[in-house]
Amino acid sequence: MRPATPDLFADHEPVQPPTREQIGEQSWVLRGFVLPWLERLLPGLDAVLAAAPFRQMVTPGGFTMSAALSSCGTWGWTTDRSGYRYTRQDPLSGKLWPPMPEVFLQLAQAAAQEAGFAGFVPDSCLINRYAPGAKMSLHQDKNETSMAAPIVSVSLGLPAVFLFGGFERSDKCQRVSLFHGDVVIWGGVDRLRYHAILPIQHGQHLRLGEQRINFTFRTAR
C-alpha cells in the first residue's frame, strides 16, 4: 500500500540504521546520524545564513579560500590578511554572529556523547559551503584555546573525500569518504592531526542541490 501522503525522499534516501566506524584512537564516524534531525536542522541553517550569509575569506597568505564560510554561536572563526582567529562579531556585518540554533547544540551534544565525549559544550559552529571544485587544503585546527574538547563535524549534501593525516604535514593520510548525514567526532590524541578535503566532484544532491555543507562544532574558548 502506498502512503496517502507520499514521502518525497523515501525512495532515494532510505534511513539506514546508524553505524559507527573508528578512524583514529579517539575519532569516530557516525554514518547517517544526522538524518533523523535533518528537517529540524535546515530551518536553523536558513536562519543563520539570513543573518550571516556565506562569504569567501582571504588567508594570511593572500589566497581566497574556495569554500565559503559562515558561523554561529558566541565565537566565529574568521581569516583575513592579518591572520586566523575567533571573533565575537561577523566582520561583514559588524554585528554579533547569529546565535547557535538550539537544535544544532542538541545534535552536537548527542553526537559527542555517542563517541564518549559527554558534557561537550560548543561555543562556535563554523559552516563551510563547498561548490563543485572547492576543497580544504591540509591543515591543523589549533586556534582553539581548549584542546581538551572534541570537534564534531556534520556533512550534508554532496559527498567528499576527507584526508586524515598524522601530526606532521608529511605523514601519510587515510582517505575517508563522507556522505550526507554523516557525523565525525575527533578528540583527545587525534585533535591536532592534519586533515584536508579533496575537491568536491560535480553532482546534484536531492535535498541540498549542487553543494556540500559542513558544520564544525568547537569549543573555541
**Which of 161, 198, 201, 197 lies closest to 179, judged by CA?**
161
How would you class 95 by CB atoms within 10 Å of its CB: exposed for 0-12, middle for 13-18, buried for 19 or more? exposed
129/67 Cα distance (integer angstroms): 5
Q: Does 126 bind ligand MD3 (CB under 6 A)?
A: yes
Q: Which grid coordinates belong to 4?
A: 496517502
What does 151 interact with, of ligand MD3, Fe ion, none (CB < 5 to 8 A by kind)? ligand MD3
Report the nearest approach of ligand MD3 to the CB of residue 193 (Å).
5
Answer yes or no: are the C-beta atoms of 151 and 206 closer than 8 Å. Answer: no
CA 149 to chain centre: 16
Nearer to Fe ion, 123 or 141 (CB): 141
Residue 197 contacts which entry, ligand MD3, Fe ion, none (Cβ below 5-8 A, type-dependent): ligand MD3
Which of 47/57 has CB closer to ligand MD3? 57
Binding mask 172-201 for ligand MD3 (x = CB under 6 A): --------------x---xx-x-x-x----
Give the integer Cα–Cα distance in Å for 78 and 90: 8
Residues that bind ligand MD3 (CB under 6 A): 126, 128, 136, 141, 151, 153, 186, 190-191, 193, 195, 197, 214, 216
